Structure 1
Amino acid sequence: MKQTSSSKTQATSDDEAPALSQADFDRAQLRVAGKDVSRAEWQAAVRARVTKQRIDIMLDTPIIEHFKSLAGERGYRTLINDTLRRVIETGHLEADLRQIIREELRSATHD
């Protein structure tokens, strides 16, 4: 079995991930959007993220077939939802990076 972590904890099942103890979880750094947060803030962010709302939406048949072929046991609706979430998160990251670069360029020209 290949060890994938420098942790001294050994894998206990057929997968390659080491078993985690309560001490591992106690040492965890909780972050939301890359910022350190308290356990209460982290829990609130997790609860907010998993809130779901039922909607009716029409999708093209090839799109549904594509996601069904990728999803397997997981469920294609979950895969579509995760894909849309990643697109949104990536868009925010791109906008934030562009803003930071603009600010840095402005401050560099004023030095």
Structure 2
Amino acid sequence: MIIVTTETVPGKETKEYKGFVRGSTVQSKNIGKDIMAGLKTIVGGELKEYTEMMEEARQKAIGRMVEDAKAKGANAIVAMRLESSAVMQNASEIIAYGTAVTVED
């Protein structure tokens, strides 16, 4: 699956638009990692526990978006975007979305 943030895939011709596709996940941290991250805020530095959690969430959301595109018969996704939002304390939603298309050389 080709995924680009541009409106077209460079070097490819868009043959058919399949429509909007998306994938999302809501991730939260476990209490142990949350305590460690809380302590890190006192001394400063990267909160690796949160960085890892958000990377995992992005990968899940993108994977679900790709499955949506495959189900529609697409071989590429154009104009892909990622967004995040807090849905409750210590939990974030990541959504990946774009337009499913079929492309050829």
Query: Structures share a fold, TM > 0.5?
Result: no
> Could you say which structure has the greater relative contact order, defined with CA pairs below 8 angstroms and 6 or more residues apart?
2
Taking structure 1 as the reference length, the TM-score comes to 0.29
Taking structure 2 as the reference length, the TM-score comes to 0.31
Name the structure with the higher strand share: 2
Q: Which has the larger radius of gyration?
A: 1
Name the structure with the higher helix share: 1
